[in-house]
Structure 1
C-alpha cells in the first residue's frame, strides 16, 4: 500500500494539532515551534502546487488573520490562536477552513455554557481556545469533504 505525499502532510498536521491540544490545555500557550514550521510547509504541501498557495486560500487566510488579530488585540484570545487559525485557513480550501473555524467557535461556546451551567466557570472565565482550533483542524485534515459540506460558503466553491 503506497502512501502519497498529501497523506504524510495531513499526518504531520494531525500530530501537531494533538500536541497543540495538550499543551494549550495545560499551559494556555501555543508554542511557535509548532505553528511556524507548519506555516512554512503549507506552500509545498500540495502535490502539483509548485510551492504556491491558491489565491482564494490566501484571501481567506488574510481575512481570518485580520479577524483573529482584532480578537487578540481586544484580549479575547492569544496570538498563538491567531497563528493556528491562519494555518487552518492556509492549509485547507476556503469552505473547509471556514467550517472548521466555525466548529471551533461552536465547540468553545458549548463548552463555556456547560462550564457556566455546572458552576465551574463564570461568564468572564478565560478558556483556552487552542484545543478547539486543534480539534477543528484535525477534523478538517482528516475529513475535509465532511467538514466542508457544513460551510455556509460551500456553494461558492462548487
Structure 2
C-alpha cells in the first residue's frame, strides 16, 4: 500500500530528509535529479516535497516550488512529477498533484503553475493552458495554471 508524506524541510530531522533526497536522486529521470538537487540545498519556507512511499521506499515525488525551470514571473509551481514505472497506472501521480495543490491552498496561494511537455494529464486535473515558454535547457514547454479558490 502506498502512503504519502508532505514534507517541509525545516520540519523534518536532517537524516530523514537526506534519506528521501537520496532516494529521489536515484530515480532514473533528470527531473527527479533537479528536485533532489534542490532538496540538497536550503528550500524556501513555502516549498514542499510530496513523497509517495511503499513501506520506506520512495516510489513517487512531486514538489511545490517558488521557481522552476524557466525565468518567468509566474509562481509558485507544481514541479517534478515522477512515479517509478512499476507503480504507474495506480493514480499515484494524480494523488501527488492533489496533495501539492492542497498544500498551496493551505499556504494561501490563489493559483499555481506547471511547465510540461505532457499532453492531457494536467488538463484532466483542472489546469488550463496559458502559453508556450522556453525553459533553461532551451526546450519548448507548455505553461499551465490552476486557480486554487
**Is the structural similarity TM-score above 0.5?**
no
* Greater fraction helix: 1
Q: Radius of gyration: which is bigger? A: 1
TM value normalised by structure 1: 0.30
Q: Which has the higher contact order (CA 8 A, sep 6+)?
A: 1
Larger strand fraction of residues: 2
